[in-house]
Amino acid sequence: MPKRDSFRDFVLEQLAEVPDVVTRPMFGGHGLYAGGRFFGILYRGVFHLKVDEHSRPDYEAAGMGPFRPFPDRPTTMQYYEVPAGVLDDPEELAAWVAKAIAAAAAKSGAGKASSGRRPATSRRLGQSGSRRPARRSR
């Protein structure tokens, strides 16, 4: 039987006004998606939303910082902690989530191939079937 996550359940209740929200297990936490857009992270009882240059100042003004997947490293991600007052207000939270979804949509559409993957590099197979180029005969 899967372990219950009361924080995840609470956040999903608060997101009832946001259509098509799904969670997926991710690195010991949960990723949140809406319409296929990865917009949020639930990790160790903290909810983070995707930010961009337009929305980041709102989080910083509320004293919130970026998601740090490894506390002992300086690495941060473009996801910021949601202020408690916002999390407690489903209408306000829906507005912040809408901005996060827009940031995720803009990021995924910025200069990437439609699949989001790099194009395959074509290499000629050698006679042995390996990826090494065939040798030229002299």
SS (H, E, C) 92-131: HHHHHHHHHHHHHHHHHHCCCCCCCCCCCCCCCCCCCCCC
Q: What tokens does 83 get? A: 């202020």
pLDDT at position 28 is 86
d(CA 128, CA 138): 19
pLDDT at position 109 is 64
Percent of the chain clearing pLDDT 90 (strictly above): 58
Q: Tokens 């901005």 map to which residue?
A: 99
Nearest in space to 28 (alpha carbons), one of 14, 44, 16:
44
43-55 tens-digit pLDDT: 999 999 999 999 9
Can you tell me the mean pLDDT for 96-107? 93
- Cβ atoms < 10 Å from Cβ of 120: 6
pLDDT at position 41 is 95
Which one of 19-28, 51-60, 113-122 scores highest in mean pLDDT?
A: 51-60
Opening angle at CA 136, ends 131 and 137, nearest 5: 140
pLDDT tier at 69, thresholds 50, 70, 90: confident
pTM recorded for the entire structure: 0.72
Can you tell me the mean pLDDT for 86-109? 92
